[in-house]
Amino acid sequence: MDVLIPLFSIAVVVAAGLAGIAIWAPRAFRIKLVALGMTAVLLPLVYLSLAELLGRPKPVAFEWNPIAFTEANVVAADLREGEAIYLWLRVDGADAPRAYALPWNLNTARQLYAAQQAAEVHGTPVRVRRIGSSEPDDESEPMFYAAPQPRAPSKS
């Protein structure tokens, strides 16, 4: 939700600029009215489309700042065979979880499932690393893993 208002504000400024150009252009009055009407229709459409996108998982390839997080907790996962791996991630330092969609990959799905099983046994969360990385897969370091158990408090 914190992205909706700035994006819509930018869209309003661009639409106002286009409307200004349409008003001052040397065209017939009817064409100017049509341009203003189209601008008036554009603004609610932009707002509704941005609001609708807020509830959809974002493909990992569309993450514009993959460096912003290198690791995150997996809050929930939904494996859709042949379609996608849907993840709900709590990124370190973020206040709300984010929804992502990974392209379907059997090895990645198996890795996630194994990490979920290990995390359940140890009572720790599932973590993910290199979520938006374009690096080649390094099999020695899995993408999904069960977080290590926290250290026991020291006895005094």
pLDDT in tens, 12-24: 898 888 888 888 8
Separation in Å, CA 137 to CA 27, 36, 78, 129, 133: 57, 51, 22, 11, 9
Q: Supply 135's token pair.
A: 């690096």
> What is the reported pLDDT for 29?
87
Instruction: For 82-104, write each residue's pLDDT tens digit.
Output: 999 999 988 877 778 888 899 99
Global confidence as pTM: 0.67
Residues 6+ apart with CB under 8 A from 124: 146, 147, 148, 149, 150
Is the Cβ–Cβ distance between 126 and 95 less than 8 Å? Answer: no
pLDDT(38) > 90? no
Backbone angles phi, psi at 102, to 5 degrees: -95, 145
